[in-house]
Amino acid sequence: MSDLPRGSTVRRDAGLYGYERALRRHGVELIAGVDEAGRGACAGPLVAGAAILPAGAAGIVPGLADSKLLTEKAREKCYDQIVRRALAWSVVVVEHDECDRLGMHVANIEALRRAVAQLGERPEYVLTDGFPVDGLGVPGLAVWKGDRVAACIAAASVLAKVTRDRLMVDLDEQWPLYDFKTHKGYITDTHTAALTAHGPCDIHRMRFVNVRRAAGLEPLPES
């Protein structure tokens, strides 16, 4: 991954759109952000989103922020605005069994690559959240806490989070014992209790040690 173009600077108080403005000052217009949801969950799919927002007022998404900081209602409103305003957007779903086959880190990188590749417009530059992603075919930059400081990454995080949440609510109807509609497959106390009582279901990720323990494939921790 590369740095910002020579001479570009982003002030700490530049706001959520500072990275895009800095790149556009150097002639870079099609700036994609990419992010994922569900990496830390032990059940359900991994979802990656990518978005290219237009310059100027058209690309200002009301209420946009890191998806984890928004209420469900606020995320849904942002999602609708992103889909309406974006020059291009995409969402990629990597199912639980592929996550097991690849391992979570590889699955995560692959999901981010696929999301960028499926954009209807080829970006000139890609901003990623936290760590670099190679193989994108264009320059890019990993941004620390990117979903909180770069609008296109925040938009991608909302696309991924809303999509995954909707999928987990649907999966809750098939697997009601695990209350996926509430905790979305993350390792909460409720989920841990359900795993202990019922063992894993078909959409659990068998590489996770808590799932393997619940399935009797790993010894329980010593008390």
Check if the beta carbon of residue 164 is closer than 8 Å to that of residue 38: yes
Tens digit of pLDDT for each residue in 87-103? 999 999 999 999 999 99
Please give the Cα distance from 171 to 145 (Å, whole number): 30
Q: How would DSSP label each residue in 44-105?
A: S-EEEEEEEPPSGGGG--TT---GGGS-HHHHHHHHHHHHHH-SEEEEEEE-HHHHHHH-HH
Tens digit of pLDDT for each residue in 1-18? 556 655 455 555 558 999
Phi, psi of 195 (to 5 degrees): -60, -45
Q: What is the reported pTM?
A: 0.93
Tens digit of pLDDT for each residue in 130-182? 889 999 999 999 999 888 999 999 999 999 999 999 999 999 999 999 999 99
